[in-house]
Structure 1
Amino acid sequence: MTTHVFIVDDNTFKYHLEYMFAGTGAKEKSVDFNNSSTTKLYSGRKHAGEYSLVGMMADGCRVRKDDLIIFYLIEKQNAREGMFFGVFQAAEDGIFLDNFDENQFLYKELKKSLTFRLKIKPYQVYQQGVTEWEALDEIKNICSPYQMLWSLIYRKLKGNRGNTMITTYESKRLISLIRQKNKNQTLNFCDYTFDGRNIIKGEKHKEYTGRTEEINILPRLLAKATRKQAFEVHLQMYITQNIGRGINESLDKALNAEKNIEWIGNEVSCGVGLQRIDVMISKTINENQKIVMPIELKAVAASFDNTRQLGRYIEWIKQYYVPNSPESDIQPVLICVKRKKLSDDLKNEFKRFNQESNVLPLKYIEYEILENNLFFKIVDYQK
């Protein structure tokens, strides 16, 4: 179960609570490539507008039903610092699309466009929030750097991502801080709102009646792949949306992820630089063992540089993730476009990487387009 932190402000938060939904958006941009192979978004940096939207879609598509939702209320200048409120749950898998136009639900009330949305439900709702200082800066109970909430710290350093996943350890710590702030007292109302300081009881029930268009990136992904255009962010979104759901059996089989995924992340920051893991999942093997898989995605064939990238991810996971989840083994994964033949030199590079990494062997997966879908298959490079 992954925990996702959604960004809200003083105006939008009350509507999220009253109508029980979370969402992100990119100002007043509209998505014209959903369930479509074409787009007219090209301007300026050509594909940048499309990539930004697909990135937000990937963030939302990692959400699974019953995942935990925490809201981060951004600071109010000279009045209040940023605060974390919770806890809610996702009511269903993934996000839906409510495109920007005159019919976007609650646009006038929100005073902004939230294009990608999901319905939520109460879980353990607390009246008071925890300040950003209490959550990220207070270190009196921190014994080691790896116990800090790095996912949220990286978010502050790298830009205000509207929907950030946090690790299982970080979730437990943040929720514990919220619980302690409220002396373990939850709110047990049917309806909620926000009074500017606290979550309170809503005056009346308000039904979410907006559009809920299903998201499908596959036609656009296939079109870009066929034209040999860059599509890594589309591939990332496709995987976060479908992994472990039985929708693409070849994907689940290749990652051995049919039913045992406990955590999904994408664009996982692993340092103060620009390094990010494309997709990372944690699988439960048994009550005493988990496997965490950093996944590098490529829209091209495998190359020697791929192992260098995976090596950096592994070192970060060893230092910052595994100490908080000591039952986790690491298995790196490389997913690339199918090659005609894997060269002996590349096979030897994978073997060298395995010997030096001191983790589970690299899983190398190739994919190709078959019958208007993606087909994934493990490649045995040990032969």
Structure 2
Amino acid sequence: MIRGHVFVVNENTLPIHLKYQFVGTGAGDRDSNISLLADMLRVKEGDYIFFYIEGSENKKGRFFGIFKSKDNKVYHLKGEDAKKPNLPKKLIYRKDIEPYKVYSEGVLEFIALDKLPIYSRELLWMLIYRKMKGKRGNTMLFPWEVERLLNMIKDENNGNIITCKDGYDFDNQNFRIICGDKKYYNHGESFRLNFNKRDINSETAFQAYIMQELKIENNKYYPEIFGKNIAWIGNEVFAGAGMQKIDILTIEKADCDDILYRIIELKYVKNNNLDDIKRAPKQLEYYIKWARDDIGGHLRNAKSYNTKPILLILDKTNNILSNPENFPKDVLSEIKDLNKISYEPEIWVMDFNNNIEKIL
């Protein structure tokens, strides 16, 4: 199952990405942004990398490819180092990439996003949602979306790839990738989050840590929750034109062609206030209906028997784990009731001492 991610660039940054073969995201003048970090940690070794260059008054936006993520490492640069080498703006989170099948010409944004295909399911919904919601510099694609974008770029170039012995560059005048001189930049030591109350101090930080720990195909980080044979990972997955986003979505590949969609809602409990948890059943219900192929129709072949909702709670103060009888009975009942439209709903609670308990 193929995985891919689109990185937003411009005429000034794309040549540098191509010459030095890395991707990056930035948060203006800030040196950290946990949401951007979570997005970057989602990108795994071997994932396809596409560039989207923003349009201007004289040139239309285009999608270029195809590169691959070189490894699982993420780098965090701060201050003026985040503008190196020769960048017009700070890119604080980075990953190294390598060429896969590089095509010279890009696919126009109009063709990729606005031109209507025969079937609505062929639309690149993740990129359309990204455009509507705005300015996500690193957007994941569903496997079928990756395949469609790959084919569009291939067709635009009549299947002709460019093989450059010494690296790649970008021709701003003609808006195309060309051969150039490969350069190298040392980003420093790779970055890792630690599972403690200082690093994991919010729900988004919890999500970022999970993105860091999950592995493709042979996942050992709580496989009972996230799946063992993971084929695809998504975070902050747009689920409709509103503000709804699925915290974590994994696709687990079972025997033969069977798959299991795991829709995971995260909650970070700092004290005894469980009000946020009470929102979880309705959130999960909405995601299930958005996802199921026979209802919402956004996840291919997602049915009631292979769409699994999970509520995962990180209990900072250990109040739930030490007193599970105080867990809201209405939440327990409502999530259990989701088995009418999904597969075996579950509730898990963990703390910073690596204690974990299945409540449902």
**Structures share a fold, TM > 0.5?**
yes
Per the TM alignment, residue 329 of structure 1 is displaced from its structure 2 partner at its CA by 1.9
Kept in 2: contact 1:290–1:327 (CA 8 A): no
Query: Aligned letter for 1:17?
Result: L
Query: Aligned letter for 2:59?
Result: R
Per the TM alignment, residue 74 of structure 1 is displaced from its structure 2 partner at its CA by 0.5
Asked if 1:201 corresponds to 2:170, the answer is no
Query: Aligned letter for 2:285?
Result: G
Summarize the alignment of residues 184-195 of structure 1 with structure 2, pairs less than 5 Å apart: 184-190=159-165, 191-195=167-171
Per the TM alignment, residue 312 of structure 1 is displaced from its structure 2 partner at its CA by 0.6
2:150 counterpart residue number = 175
1:11 counterpart residue number = 12
C-alpha distance in 2 between matches for 1:231 and 1:6: 25
Structure 2 residue matching 1:136: 3-state secondary structure: helix
1:161 counterpart residue number = 136
Deviation readout 1:90-137 (Å, 9 max, x if unpaired): 001142111122x34625x22100000000001111110001000001
Deviation readout 1:267-307 (Å, 9 max, x if unpaired): 11111110001111111112311111111000125844311
| TM-aligned CA distance change 1:269 to 1:288, over 3 Å | same
Per the TM alignment, residue 240 of structure 1 is displaced from its structure 2 partner at its CA by 1.0
Summarize the alignment of residues 243-282 of structure 1 with structure 2, pairs less than 5 Å apart: 243-244=214-215, 249=220, 251-255=221-225, 257-258=227-228, 260-282=229-251
Query: Aligned letter for 1:378?
Result: K
C-alpha distance in 2 between matches for 1:104 and 1:306: 38
Kept in 1: contact 2:226–2:262 (CA 8 A): no
Summarize the alignment of residues 145-160 of structure 1 with structure 2, pairs less than 5 Å apart: 145-160=120-135
Deviation readout 1:322-346 (Å, 9 max, x if unpaired): 3367899211111014522245544
Runs of at least 5 residues in structure 1 that lack an aligned partner in the other structure: 32-52
C-alpha distance in 2 between matches for 1:262 and 1:247: 9
Deviation readout 1:135-175 (Å, 9 max, x if unpaired): 00111x322x2221110011111111110001111111111
Asked if 1:240 corresponds to 2:211, the answer is yes
Kept in 2: contact 1:232–1:298 (CA 8 A): yes
Query: Aligned letter for 1:29?
Result: R
C-alpha distance in 2 between matches for 1:100 and 1:247: 37
Kept in 2: contact 1:169–1:325 (CA 8 A): no
2:101 counterpart residue number = 124
Give identity over the alignment, percent: 31
2:260 counterpart residue number = 291
Per the TM alignment, residue 29 of structure 1 is displaced from its structure 2 partner at its CA by 1.4
Query: Aligned letter for 2:263?
Result: P
C-alpha distance in 2 between matches for 1:119 and 1:206: 12
| TM-aligned CA distance change 1:305 to 1:205, over 3 Å | closer
C-alpha distance in 2 between matches for 1:89 and 1:165: 13
- What's the TM-score, normalizing by structure 2? 0.88
Per the TM alignment, residue 361 of structure 1 is displaced from its structure 2 partner at its CA by 1.1
RMSD of aligned Cα (Å): 2.4
Per the TM alignment, residue 61 of structure 1 is displaced from its structure 2 partner at its CA by 0.4
Summarize the alignment of residues 1-383 of structure 1 with structure 2, pairs less than 5 Å apart: 1-31=2-32, 53-76=33-56, 78-101=57-80, 103-104=81-82, 106-107=84-85, 109-139=86-116, 141-143=117-119, 145-190=120-165, 191-196=167-172, 197-202=175-180, 204-219=181-196, 222-223=197-198, 231-244=202-215, 249=220, 251-255=221-225, 257-258=227-228, 260-300=229-269, 303-318=277-292, 319-323=296-300, 329-338=306-315, 339=320, 340-341=323-324, 342=327, 344-355=329-340, 357=341, 359-370=342-353, 374-379=354-359, 381=360
- What's the TM-score, normalizing by structure 1? 0.82
